[in-house]
Amino acid sequence: MPELPEVETVARQLAPLLAGRVLRRIDVRGPLLEVADRHLARGRRVLGVTRLGKQVAIALGPAGRGTAACRLICHLRMTGRLIWLGPGETRGNPRHVRATLRFDGGRLLFIDPRRFGTLRMESADAPVGNSGTDPMDGRFTPPVLAGLLGGSRQGLKPWLLRQDRLLGIGNIYASEILFAARLDPRRAAGSLSRGEIRRMFGAVRSVLARAIRHCGTTFSDFGDTRGRPGGFGRLLAVYGREGLPCRGCGRSVRRIVQQSRSTFYCERCQGPRRAGMFVA
Protein backbone atom coordinates (compact mmCIF):
# COMPACT_ATOMS: atom_id res chain seq x y z
CA MET A 1 0.00 0.00 0.00
CA PRO A 2 1.37 3.46 -0.85
CA GLU A 3 2.49 5.25 2.30
CA LEU A 4 3.14 8.92 3.01
CA PRO A 5 6.21 9.34 0.72
CA GLU A 6 4.49 7.69 -2.25
CA VAL A 7 1.30 9.71 -1.85
CA GLU A 8 3.31 12.91 -1.33
CA THR A 9 5.20 12.14 -4.55
CA VAL A 10 1.96 11.80 -6.51
CA ALA A 11 0.45 14.97 -4.99
CA ARG A 12 3.58 17.03 -5.70
CA GLN A 13 3.71 15.83 -9.30
CA LEU A 14 0.02 16.45 -9.91
CA ALA A 15 -0.03 19.94 -8.38
CA PRO A 16 1.66 21.77 -11.32
CA LEU A 17 -0.01 19.51 -13.90
CA LEU A 18 -3.56 20.19 -12.73
CA ALA A 19 -3.34 23.74 -11.36
CA GLY A 20 -5.84 25.99 -13.13
CA ARG A 21 -7.31 23.23 -15.32
CA VAL A 22 -11.08 22.81 -15.53
CA LEU A 23 -12.53 19.39 -14.71
CA ARG A 24 -15.01 18.55 -17.47
CA ARG A 25 -16.32 15.21 -16.20
CA ILE A 26 -15.56 12.03 -14.29
CA ASP A 27 -16.13 8.67 -16.00
CA VAL A 28 -16.41 5.69 -13.64
CA ARG A 29 -16.12 2.07 -14.78
CA GLY A 30 -17.95 -0.56 -12.75
CA PRO A 31 -19.98 -0.38 -9.54
CA LEU A 32 -17.05 -0.81 -7.14
CA LEU A 33 -15.87 2.79 -7.52
CA GLU A 34 -18.97 4.93 -7.55
CA VAL A 35 -18.54 8.65 -6.91
CA ALA A 36 -21.75 10.09 -5.52
CA ASP A 37 -22.79 13.40 -7.12
CA ARG A 38 -19.82 13.33 -9.46
CA HIS A 39 -21.78 15.49 -11.91
CA LEU A 40 -21.32 18.32 -9.39
CA ALA A 41 -17.59 18.33 -10.19
CA ARG A 42 -18.14 19.43 -13.78
CA GLY A 43 -16.86 22.86 -14.70
CA ARG A 44 -14.82 23.35 -11.55
CA ARG A 45 -11.29 24.70 -11.71
CA VAL A 46 -8.47 22.97 -9.82
CA LEU A 47 -7.17 25.17 -7.01
CA GLY A 48 -4.44 22.80 -5.83
CA VAL A 49 -3.41 19.24 -5.04
CA THR A 50 -2.21 18.16 -1.61
CA ARG A 51 -1.75 15.06 0.50
CA LEU A 52 -4.04 14.28 3.43
CA GLY A 53 -2.46 11.39 5.31
CA LYS A 54 -2.35 8.57 2.74
CA GLN A 55 -4.89 10.27 0.45
CA VAL A 56 -4.54 12.65 -2.52
CA ALA A 57 -6.81 15.69 -2.29
CA ILE A 58 -7.72 17.71 -5.41
CA ALA A 59 -9.17 21.06 -4.36
CA LEU A 60 -11.87 22.35 -6.73
CA GLY A 61 -13.28 25.88 -6.89
CA PRO A 62 -16.98 26.77 -7.02
CA ALA A 63 -18.92 25.63 -10.09
CA GLY A 64 -20.75 28.94 -10.30
CA ARG A 65 -22.69 31.49 -8.30
CA GLY A 66 -24.22 30.00 -5.18
CA THR A 67 -21.95 26.93 -5.09
CA ALA A 68 -19.14 26.21 -2.65
CA ALA A 69 -15.64 24.87 -3.18
CA CYS A 70 -15.14 21.13 -2.71
CA ARG A 71 -12.44 18.51 -3.07
CA LEU A 72 -11.95 15.09 -4.62
CA ILE A 73 -10.30 12.60 -2.28
CA CYS A 74 -8.49 9.62 -3.76
CA HIS A 75 -7.28 6.74 -1.60
CA LEU A 76 -4.96 4.44 -3.57
CA ARG A 77 -5.23 1.56 -1.07
CA MET A 78 -3.28 -1.55 -2.18
CA THR A 79 -2.71 -1.18 -5.94
CA GLY A 80 -4.08 2.21 -6.98
CA ARG A 81 -2.19 4.59 -9.27
CA LEU A 82 -2.94 8.03 -10.65
CA ILE A 83 -1.52 8.41 -14.17
CA TRP A 84 -1.52 11.68 -16.11
CA LEU A 85 -1.98 11.56 -19.87
CA GLY A 86 -1.62 14.48 -22.20
CA PRO A 87 -3.50 14.73 -25.51
CA GLY A 88 -3.04 11.55 -27.58
CA GLU A 89 -1.08 9.69 -24.88
CA THR A 90 -1.91 6.15 -23.77
CA ARG A 91 -0.53 4.18 -20.83
CA GLY A 92 -1.62 1.36 -18.53
CA ASN A 93 -3.91 -1.61 -18.98
CA PRO A 94 -7.38 -0.29 -19.98
CA ARG A 95 -8.99 -3.18 -18.08
CA HIS A 96 -7.67 -1.75 -14.80
CA VAL A 97 -8.82 1.85 -15.34
CA ARG A 98 -11.50 2.43 -12.70
CA ALA A 99 -12.08 6.14 -13.30
CA THR A 100 -11.04 8.86 -15.75
CA LEU A 101 -10.97 12.50 -14.72
CA ARG A 102 -11.19 14.56 -17.91
CA PHE A 103 -9.61 18.02 -17.80
CA ASP A 104 -8.86 20.68 -20.36
CA GLY A 105 -5.76 19.37 -22.13
CA GLY A 106 -5.44 15.97 -20.51
CA ARG A 107 -6.81 13.03 -18.51
CA LEU A 108 -6.07 11.64 -15.07
CA LEU A 109 -6.52 7.87 -14.90
CA PHE A 110 -7.25 6.05 -11.66
CA ILE A 111 -5.79 2.59 -12.28
CA ASP A 112 -6.49 -0.05 -9.64
CA PRO A 113 -6.14 -3.78 -10.51
CA ARG A 114 -7.39 -5.05 -7.13
CA ARG A 115 -10.23 -2.51 -6.90
CA PHE A 116 -9.72 -1.51 -3.27
CA GLY A 117 -9.14 2.19 -4.01
CA THR A 118 -11.74 4.86 -3.42
CA LEU A 119 -12.64 8.22 -4.94
CA ARG A 120 -15.11 10.55 -3.29
CA MET A 121 -16.29 14.15 -3.28
CA GLU A 122 -16.58 16.15 -0.09
CA SER A 123 -16.83 19.73 1.08
CA ALA A 124 -13.61 21.71 1.19
CA ASP A 125 -13.72 21.99 4.97
CA ALA A 126 -14.65 18.37 5.76
CA PRO A 127 -12.59 16.93 8.65
CA VAL A 128 -9.78 14.54 7.75
CA GLY A 129 -10.49 10.94 8.73
CA ASN A 130 -8.51 9.20 11.50
CA SER A 131 -7.62 12.60 13.06
CA GLY A 132 -3.96 11.71 13.57
CA THR A 133 -1.01 14.14 13.40
CA ASP A 134 0.78 14.58 10.09
CA PRO A 135 4.48 13.90 10.80
CA MET A 136 5.60 16.33 8.07
CA ASP A 137 3.50 19.20 9.45
CA GLY A 138 5.43 22.01 11.09
CA ARG A 139 3.26 21.65 14.18
CA PHE A 140 4.67 18.16 14.79
CA THR A 141 7.43 18.52 17.39
CA PRO A 142 9.20 16.30 19.97
CA PRO A 143 6.80 17.45 22.73
CA VAL A 144 3.83 16.59 20.49
CA LEU A 145 5.32 13.14 19.87
CA ALA A 146 5.85 12.68 23.63
CA GLY A 147 2.20 13.51 24.22
CA LEU A 148 1.05 11.03 21.58
CA LEU A 149 3.20 8.26 23.06
CA GLY A 150 1.68 9.11 26.44
CA GLY A 151 2.47 6.00 28.49
CA SER A 152 1.27 3.57 25.81
CA ARG A 153 2.00 -0.11 26.48
CA GLN A 154 1.76 -0.94 22.79
CA GLY A 155 4.92 -1.99 20.96
CA LEU A 156 6.67 0.80 19.04
CA LYS A 157 6.20 -0.77 15.62
CA PRO A 158 2.42 -1.38 15.93
CA TRP A 159 2.09 2.06 17.53
CA LEU A 160 3.66 3.72 14.47
CA LEU A 161 1.04 2.11 12.24
CA ARG A 162 -1.85 3.73 14.12
CA GLN A 163 -3.36 6.39 11.89
CA ASP A 164 -5.03 8.00 14.90
CA ARG A 165 -1.53 8.82 16.17
CA LEU A 166 0.67 9.62 13.15
CA LEU A 167 -0.83 9.85 9.67
CA GLY A 168 0.65 8.13 6.65
CA ILE A 169 3.21 5.74 8.15
CA GLY A 170 2.87 2.12 7.06
CA ASN A 171 4.83 -1.11 7.42
CA ILE A 172 7.84 -0.14 5.30
CA TYR A 173 8.67 3.17 6.94
CA ALA A 174 7.81 2.06 10.49
CA SER A 175 10.67 -0.47 10.34
CA GLU A 176 12.99 2.05 8.70
CA ILE A 177 12.21 4.77 11.25
CA LEU A 178 12.91 2.51 14.23
CA PHE A 179 16.20 1.36 12.71
CA ALA A 180 17.26 4.98 12.14
CA ALA A 181 16.25 5.82 15.73
CA ARG A 182 18.10 2.74 17.10
CA LEU A 183 14.96 1.56 18.92
CA ASP A 184 13.77 -2.02 19.29
CA PRO A 185 10.33 -2.43 17.61
CA ARG A 186 9.11 -4.52 20.58
CA ARG A 187 9.77 -1.73 23.04
CA ALA A 188 6.69 -0.31 24.80
CA ALA A 189 5.93 3.00 23.11
CA GLY A 190 5.38 4.81 26.40
CA SER A 191 8.71 3.74 27.89
CA LEU A 192 10.94 6.09 25.86
CA SER A 193 13.16 8.63 27.56
CA ARG A 194 13.31 12.26 26.42
CA GLY A 195 16.46 11.55 24.46
CA GLU A 196 14.91 8.54 22.76
CA ILE A 197 11.82 10.57 21.86
CA ARG A 198 14.05 13.19 20.24
CA ARG A 199 15.83 10.43 18.31
CA MET A 200 12.54 8.95 17.19
CA PHE A 201 11.23 12.37 16.12
CA GLY A 202 14.39 13.00 14.08
CA ALA A 203 14.14 9.57 12.47
CA VAL A 204 10.49 10.07 11.52
CA ARG A 205 11.29 13.34 9.80
CA SER A 206 14.54 12.29 8.14
CA VAL A 207 13.40 8.89 6.85
CA LEU A 208 10.18 10.25 5.37
CA ALA A 209 11.91 13.29 3.85
CA ARG A 210 14.60 11.12 2.26
CA ALA A 211 12.00 8.73 0.86
CA ILE A 212 10.07 11.68 -0.62
CA ARG A 213 13.23 12.96 -2.31
CA HIS A 214 13.59 9.54 -3.97
CA CYS A 215 9.89 9.40 -4.96
CA GLY A 216 9.00 6.62 -2.54
CA THR A 217 9.40 2.85 -2.63
CA THR A 218 8.13 0.38 -5.22
CA PHE A 219 7.84 -3.34 -4.50
CA SER A 220 5.14 -4.40 -6.94
CA ASP A 221 2.47 -1.82 -7.72
CA PHE A 222 3.38 1.77 -6.90
CA GLY A 223 4.25 4.11 -9.74
CA ASP A 224 4.29 7.90 -10.01
CA THR A 225 2.08 9.96 -12.30
CA ARG A 226 4.10 8.88 -15.33
CA GLY A 227 4.20 5.22 -14.30
CA ARG A 228 7.80 5.31 -13.03
CA PRO A 229 8.81 3.30 -9.92
CA GLY A 230 10.06 4.93 -6.73
CA GLY A 231 13.80 4.98 -6.09
CA PHE A 232 13.99 4.51 -2.32
CA GLY A 233 13.86 0.70 -2.38
CA ARG A 234 17.60 0.38 -2.98
CA LEU A 235 18.26 2.51 0.11
CA LEU A 236 16.13 0.51 2.56
CA ALA A 237 18.17 -0.35 5.66
CA VAL A 238 16.12 -3.25 7.06
CA TYR A 239 12.69 -3.63 5.44
CA GLY A 240 12.54 -6.72 3.21
CA ARG A 241 16.17 -7.61 4.04
CA GLU A 242 15.73 -10.62 6.33
CA GLY A 243 18.99 -12.59 6.59
CA LEU A 244 21.03 -9.93 4.77
CA PRO A 245 23.83 -8.02 6.52
CA CYS A 246 22.75 -4.97 8.49
CA ARG A 247 24.03 -1.83 6.78
CA GLY A 248 25.14 -0.55 10.17
CA CYS A 249 26.96 -3.45 11.82
CA GLY A 250 26.97 -6.41 9.41
CA ARG A 251 24.84 -8.67 11.60
CA SER A 252 21.92 -10.43 9.90
CA VAL A 253 18.65 -8.50 9.73
CA ARG A 254 15.84 -10.29 11.60
CA ARG A 255 12.15 -10.55 10.78
CA ILE A 256 9.48 -10.99 13.44
CA VAL A 257 5.68 -10.76 13.31
CA GLN A 258 3.83 -8.14 15.32
CA GLN A 259 0.04 -8.06 15.14
CA SER A 260 0.13 -10.11 11.92
CA ARG A 261 2.58 -7.70 10.19
CA SER A 262 6.22 -8.38 9.36
CA THR A 263 8.77 -6.28 11.23
CA PHE A 264 12.43 -6.05 10.21
CA TYR A 265 15.18 -4.93 12.58
CA CYS A 266 18.78 -5.43 13.73
CA GLU A 267 19.19 -6.86 17.22
CA ARG A 268 22.62 -5.26 17.68
CA CYS A 269 21.86 -1.76 16.35
CA GLN A 270 18.42 -1.59 17.95
CA GLY A 271 19.27 -3.12 21.34
CA PRO A 272 19.99 -3.79 24.08
CA ARG A 273 16.87 -5.35 25.56
CA ARG A 274 15.91 -3.99 28.98
CA ALA A 275 13.56 -5.82 31.33
CA GLY A 276 10.07 -4.44 31.80
CA MET A 277 10.08 -2.32 28.66
CA PHE A 278 9.01 -4.86 26.06
CA VAL A 279 5.70 -6.19 24.85
CA ALA A 280 4.89 -9.07 22.50
Q: 157-175: per-residue pLDDT in tens?
A: 999 999 999 999 999 999 9
Q: Which of 3, 6, 8, 176 is catalytic?
A: 3
In the chain, what percentage of residues exceed pLDDT 90? 67
pLDDT of residue 273: 57
- Is residue 89 among the annotated active site residues? no
Active site residue 267: no
SS3 39: helix
Is 142 a known active-site residue?
A: no
Q: Which range among 113-122, 153-162, 188-197 shows the weakest confidence by mean pLDDT?
A: 113-122
Q: Can you give the residue ranges of every domain in the chain?
A: 4-123, 142-265
- Quick one: average pLDDT of 246-267? 96
Is residue 279's pLDDT more than 70? Answer: no
**pTM, to two decimals:** 0.90
The yes-or-no verdict on residue 280 having pLDDT over 80 is no
Q: Which residue has the higher pLDDT, 276 or 1?
A: 1
Which of the two residues, 201 and 228, has the higher pLDDT score? Answer: 201
The per-residue pLDDT for range 11-30, each reduced to its tens digit, is 999 999 999 999 999 998 86
The 3-class secondary structure across 86-155, one letter per residue, is CCCCCCCCHHHEEEEEEECCEEEEEECCCCCCEEEEEECCCCCCCCCECCCCCCCCHHHHHHHHCCCCCE
Residue 129: the pLDDT is: 67
Overall size of the chain counted in residues: 280
Q: Which long-range contacts (CB under 8 A, 24 or more apart) does 234-242 make?
A: 235/210, 236/172, 236/176, 237/176, 237/179, 237/180, 238/175, 238/176, 238/179, 238/264, 238/265, 238/266, 239/171, 239/172, 239/175, 239/176, 239/264, 240/172, 240/264
Residue among 223, 219, 222 at smallest CA distance from 234: 219
| Fold of the CATH domain 4-123 | N-terminal domain of MutM-like DNA repair proteins (3.20.190)
**φ/ψ bin of 240: left (φ > 0), alpha (ψ from -120 to 50), beta (otherwise):** left
Q: CATH number of 142-265: 1.10.8.60, 3.40.50.300, 1.10.8.50, 1.10.579.10? A: 1.10.8.50
What confidence tens digit (pLDDT) does each residue in 65-112 have? 878 899 999 999 888 899 999 888 877 667 789 999 999 999 999 999
Asked if pLDDT for residue 32 goes beyond 60, the answer is: no
* Residue tagged active-site, from 54, 81, 187, 241: 54
The pLDDT score that the predictor gives to residue 182 is 98
3 is catalytic: yes
Report the SS3 class of residue 200: helix
Q: Which one of 2, 5, 158, 185 is the catalytic residue?
A: 2
> 274 pLDDT band (50/70/90 cuts)?
low
